[in-house]
Copies of this chain bind each other. A is one copy, B any other.
Amino acid sequence: MSGTNSAARMISQGPAVVLVAPQLGENIGFAARAMLNCGLGDLRLVRPRCGWPSPEAEATSAGALARMEPPQVFDTTAEAVADLRHIFATTARRRDMEHLVMTPAAAGRELCKAYAAGEPSGLLFGAERAGLENDDVALADGVVTIPANPAFSSLNLGQAVLIMAYEWLRAHDRTPTMVRSHTGEAPATKGEVAALMRHLEQELDRAAFFKVPENRPAMVRALRTLLTRSAPTSQEVRTLHGVLTAISGRRLGGLPRGRRRSQGREREPQASD
Contact = CB atoms under 8 A, between A and B. Distances in A.
Interface of A: 1-6, 8-12, 33-34, 36-39, 62-64, 67, 90, 92-103, 105-106, 126, 128-131, 142-143, 145-157, 159-160, 162-163, 166, 169-170, 173, 175-183, 185, 233, 236
The 3 nearest A-B residue pairs measured at CB? A8-B150, A3-B92, A106-B177
A152 to B, nearest CB: 4
B162 A159 contact: yes
Number of copies: 2
B99 A180 contact: yes
Contact of A98 (B39, B160, B178, B233): B233
Nearest to A173: B147
A3 to B, nearest CB: 4
A183 to B, nearest CB: 5
Nearest to A63: B152
A123 to B, nearest CB: 13
Nearest to A130: B2
A64 B34 CA distance: 22
A98 B185 contact: yes
A39, A96, A126, A178: most-surrounded residue (chain B CB, <10 A): A178
For chain A, what secondary structure do more than half of its interface residues adopt (helix, strand, loop), or is it mixed?
Answer: loop
Most central of A3, A147, A149, A163 by chain B CB within 10 Å: A149
A75 B185 CA distance: 34
A182 B96 CA distance: 7
B105 A3 contact: no
Contacts of A36: 149, 152
A61 to B, nearest CB: 10
Contacts of A147: 169-170, 173, 175
B183 A2 contact: no
Contacts of A150: 5, 8-9, 11
A173 B103 contact: yes
Contact of A182 (B98, B149, B157, B233): B98
A37 B105 contact: no
Contacts of A37: 148-149, 152-155, 159
